[in-house]
Amino acid sequence: MNGPRRSERPEGRRPRAAGTNPAAPNRKQYFRRRKVCKFCEEKIDAIDYKEAKLIGQFVSERGKILPRRLTGTCSPHQRLLSVAVKRARNIALLPFATRL
């Protein structure tokens, strides 16, 4: 609380609102389309570990399970997906990791 008080702040300088970019004041805000769960959309209830092609879409090139915020998968299906990926890894349908 050692900063300048409101009355002591230099004129013309107000704190910026969060998320504003002073370099591009007239740029339109980017609209990101909401991601939809692939399993809900296609009405897939059970995620089978034997479907390596389907499960492989949700695994990165390095072998990591992609997070929900990237794939758009809903939380119940993400939990089923992680179990299926782990099972597929154990029986060598999916790699644990790639070599560098």
Q: pLDDT, tens digit, for every residue of 16-72?
A: 666 666 666 667 777 777 889 999 999 998 999 999 999 999 999 999 999 999 999
Is residue 79 predicted with pLDDT exceeding 70?
Answer: yes
Q: Which CATH number fits domain 33-100: 3.40.50.620, 4.10.640.10, 3.40.190.10, 3.40.50.300?
A: 4.10.640.10
pLDDT for the residue numbered 41: 93
Q: Which two tokens stand for residue 55?
A: 């499960």
- What SS3 state is found at 83? helix
- Among the listed residues 55, 63, 58, the one whose alpha carbon sits nearest the alpha carbon of residue 98: 63
| pLDDT range class, residue 8, cuts 50, 70, 90 | low
Is residue 100 predicted with pLDDT exceeding 80?
Answer: no
pLDDT for the residue numbered 30: 76
